[in-house]
């Protein structure tokens, strides 16, 4: 539960910080304007980088679990809940 709360907190910060940055992104000088297309694409690429990183970690974990706990693994033994049929 603690891990899930920390994970959701990190994801929340990743969403809130760019939103606050955009809210206060007006320039100090009166003639400075914010090009929203550039900011939106920048935010898109940052979030896609995070999404690909998280996806890679999840995919790697799934591949590792499938490889580690396969039935033909030499050290694979049934747990006490599975019984000893084989």
Q: What whole-number distance in Å separates Cα of residue 83 and Cα of residue 77?
A: 10
Q: At a CB cut-off of 8 Å and minimum separation 6, what does 76 contact?
A: 69, 70
User: Which pLDDT does position 58 carry in this prediction?
Assistant: 96
Domain ranges of the chain: 14-68
User: Which pLDDT does position 71 carry in this prediction?
Assistant: 77
pLDDT in tens, 7-63: 888 888 888 887 777 767 666 666 667 777 888 888 899 899 999 999 999 999 999
Q: For the chain, where are the E strands, in sequence order?
A: none
């Amino acid at each position: 539960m603690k891990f899930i709360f920390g994970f959701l907190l990190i994801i929340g910060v990743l969403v809130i910080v760019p939103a606050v940055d955009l809210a206060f992104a007006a320039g100090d000088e009166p003639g400075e304007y914010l090009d929203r297309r550039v900011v939106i694409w920048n935010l898109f690429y940052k979030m896609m980088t995070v999404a690909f990183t998280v996806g890679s970690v999840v995919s790697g974990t799934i591949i590792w679990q499938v490889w580690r706990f396969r039935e033909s693994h030499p050290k694979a033994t049934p747990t006490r809940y599975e019984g000893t049929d084989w």
